[in-house]
Amino acid sequence: MCGICGVVGHRPATPIVFEGLRRLEYRGYDSAGIATLDAQQRITRCRASGKLDNLAEALKETPLTGTTAIGHTRWATHGAPTTNNAHPHKAGKVAIVHNGIIENYAELRQKLQKNGREFKTETDSETVAHLLDEELKRGLSPKDAAYATIRQLEGAYAVAMIFEDHEGLLIGARHGAPLAIGFGEGEMFLGSDSLALAPLSQRITYLDDGDWCVLHADSVTIYDATGSEVQRPVQTVALTAGQIGKDGYRHFMEKELHEHPVAIGQTLQRMMDPVTRRITLPDMPFDPADLPRATITACGSAFYAGMVGRYWLESLARLPVDIDVASELRYRNPPQPNQGMALLISQSGETADTLGVLRALKAENQRIVSILNVEQSTMGRESDLVLGMVAGPEISVASTKAFTAQLSVLAALTITFARKRGTLDEAQEQKLTQSLLDLPSHAATVLGLFDAIRKMARIIAQARDVLYLGRGICMPIAQEGALKLKEISYIHAEAYAAGELKHGPISLIDPSVPVVAIAPSTILFEKMLSNLQEAKARGGLILAFTDAQGAKRLEGIADHMVVLPDVDAFVAPILYTIPVQILAYEVALLKGTDVDQPRNLAKSVTVE
Ligand code: F6R
């Protein structure tokens, strides 16, 4: 959600920042811009609405020189996505880029306007530029002005600032939105995440919340919120070109769909004792046998993964679970058991809603266990225990492989809890573990079904509305399918528990509203069959994902079927995720939408 990149060094800075923005574009693509200090140490800017390609064109008209630069790719919150509202914002002798929301901007703006400051944009971010320039005008040094400025800000921010007449100086600050420093040879970088910094530097320091930093080409000084100098660890991040590129695929989403087997396999491998071949998770900050209850929270797809986790934990580990989307749980204020467990799920580890719940629950003495793809993220640093998935960078805005990796961790967690709570005997445990170990190869088989799924996609692409049906543990997979379709093809889709159809939504059924059923023969199949027959009797067009046995029973009911390998009911939700995501991808291709960067969206949503 908004990407920031900055450099201070000895080489022309614009191409470096531009390429950094390319790697950050998944965080927002409403507009983009770069500001540099030119040979006279004056700020020059180039900005463009829309995607980075527009900025590339604009840069041909307005080339920027200089070795100190900041850049930004925007997901609009305050102010329309116009060139005028694009970052960097300039006021007097400073330029800034900002990710987040300045919650007290209206009040600050009014104060600044009373002092004669003229605002040129509708953004909250411009306030930061004016405040900074105002502090400079009061005679403060850039460093002191930066500190004085951030102390006045409320809300969430990651900011990068450059100053006229101060070539070779770049200042960054973060509170509630991520920012990292990359160490180069005679140059330093700022970036919203390690992806931006990856080809530039393998040595990265993540700023803690409240930190701010002063970068010169050959030095870095970090301060905390009290203004005291602090040391933060330098981590080695080795992302390969293959991990951050498309690797020959047309879209990141296509590449990431093909990475399901590896993401599942690597994630499970990490949680498995190689000698006993038993699932073994790191020591918990509590004894799972003593837990009275657990809370699960997340947003979007990660929330649906949590819903599957609830089914598993309740049915197999007999652990009662309270689950809600983070933006609701945050303000619902349910009573929590003393020293209970809160399980948070997030690909990015930066989602503001989920992070807000983490902090609220921590304040209520809950032990925080997070399932994360980016383990060095803010959530990772603030959790009591991180269960890392090994999905690799996920760049397409719509989540794919992170979802099956999240489910793999949740399955492993369930087996561990069930063993410790005495609800699973050894034979059952072995059976479940084996079904997990077989999954990567079944997932690879499903990747061979693109052609069959494309036939279904042709029907869906004609529709205005689509219903997804699932039952039990496959209900969240129906929800994931509907979300993915909405997100990237812009076709309206809703997911219903199939048994709920007759309580209302069945009135929507006619031949123009395809019904997509997630129907493995192992999970409440007879009930699902009856529900599909009810839909069929009313002229519904039934498209089913099932297995060989299910396919026999669905003959004459389903108009189209995609037949998946037979798997144990335990892992069916993981396997059935893959074809519903492929379906959305294929529909999006037919509709010609922007698959990796769907309209209005951004990855890593760092605002509430
Ligand atoms: C859907 C999608 C989003 C994310 C949600 C949570 O395809 O990508 O719904 O799942 O924004 O993001 P994380 O997992 O980063 O917290």
| Residue having the nearest C-alpha atom to atom 10 of ligand 1 | 301
For ligand 1, the distance from its centroid to the CA atom of residue 187, given in whole angstroms, is: 34
- Amino acid in position 360: A
Cβ of residue 605 lying under 6 Å from some atom of ligand 1: yes
Q: Which atom of ligand 1 is closest in space to residue 402's alpha carbon?
A: 14
Among positive and negative, which fits the CA dihedral 379, 380, 385, 386?
positive
Q: Which atom of ligand 1 is closest in space to residue 403's alpha carbon?
A: 10
Identify whether the C-beta of residue 530 lies closer than 8 Å to the C-beta of residue 518: no
Identify whether the C-beta of residue 141 lies closer than 8 Å to the C-beta of residue 132: no
Average pLDDT in the 175-200 region? 93
Q: What is the mean pLDDT of the chain?
A: 95
Model confidence pLDDT, tens digit, residues 430-460 = 999 999 999 999 999 999 999 999 999 999 9
The pLDDT assigned to 198 comes to 85
* Residue 325 neighbours by CB distance under 10 Å: 17
Rounded to whole angstroms, the Cα distance separating 250 from 247 reads: 9
The pLDDT assigned to 1 comes to 75
Cα-only R_g, the chain? 25
Contacts of 426 (CB under 8 A, 6+ apart): none
For ligand 1, the distance from its centroid to the CA atom of residue 372, given in whole angstroms, is: 12
Cβ of residue 300 lying under 6 Å from some atom of ligand 1: yes
Average pLDDT in the 295-323 region? 98
Average pLDDT in the 577-590 region? 98
| Residue having the nearest C-alpha atom to atom 4 of ligand 1 | 300
Residue 176's pLDDT band, with cuts at 50, 70 and 90, is confident
Cβ of residue 327 lying under 6 Å from some atom of ligand 1: no
Catalytic residues: 2, 603
Which has the minimum average pLDDT: 112-126, 230-244, 539-553? 230-244
Q: Which atom of ligand 1 is closest in space to residue 604's alpha carbon?
A: 15
Q: Is the pLDDT of residue 22 over 80?
A: yes
- Give the residue from 74, 117, 118 showing the smallest Cα distance to 98: 74
Q: Is the pLDDT of residue 240 over 80?
A: no
Q: Residue for token digits 């799972």? A: 288
* Residue 60 neighbours by CB distance under 10 Å: 8
Model confidence pLDDT, tens digit, residues 284-302 = 989 999 999 999 999 999 9
Q: Which atom of ligand 1 is closest in space to residue 605's alpha carbon?
A: 11
Average pLDDT in the 163-184 region? 96
Residue 241's pLDDT band, with cuts at 50, 70 and 90, is low
Cβ of residue 126 lying under 6 Å from some atom of ligand 1: no
The pLDDT assigned to 606 comes to 78
Q: Is the pLDDT of residue 97 over 90?
A: yes
Kindly tell me the burial class for residue 464, based on how many C-beta atoms sit within 10 Å of its own C-beta (0-12, 13-18, 19 or more).
Answer: exposed
Tell me what percent of the chain is helix, strand and coil, each rounded to the nearest 5.
Answer: 40, 25, 35
The pLDDT assigned to 510 comes to 93
| Residue having the nearest C-alpha atom to atom 16 of ligand 1 | 346
Cβ of residue 301 lying under 6 Å from some atom of ligand 1: yes
Residue 326's pLDDT band, with cuts at 50, 70 and 90, is very high
Rounded to whole angstroms, the Cα distance separating 120 from 130 reads: 11
Model confidence pLDDT, tens digit, residues 189-236 = 999 988 889 889 999 999 999 999 999 999 999 999 999 999 999 999
Cβ of residue 377 lying under 6 Å from some atom of ligand 1: no
Q: Is the pLDDT of residue 244 over 90?
A: no
Residue 426's pLDDT band, with cuts at 50, 70 and 90, is very high
Cβ of residue 398 lying under 6 Å from some atom of ligand 1: yes
Model confidence pLDDT, tens digit, residues 333-349 = 999 998 899 999 999 99
Average pLDDT in the 21-47 region? 95
Q: Which domains does the chain have, with CATH numbers?
A: 3-243 (3.60.20.10), 248-437 (3.40.50.10490), 448-596 (3.40.50.10490)
Helix, coil or strand: residue 84: coil
Angle at 330 between CA 329 and CA 333, to 5 degrees: 75
For ligand 1, the distance from its centroid to the CA atom of residue 487, given in whole angstroms, is: 11
Model confidence pLDDT, tens digit, residues 488-525 = 999 999 999 999 999 999 999 999 999 999 999 998 99
For ligand 1, the distance from its centroid to the CA atom of residue 182, given in whole angstroms, is: 26
Which has the minimum average pLDDT: 4-13, 60-69, 109-118, 191-200? 191-200
Cβ of residue 347 lying under 6 Å from some atom of ligand 1: yes
| Residue having the nearest C-alpha atom to atom 7 of ligand 1 | 398
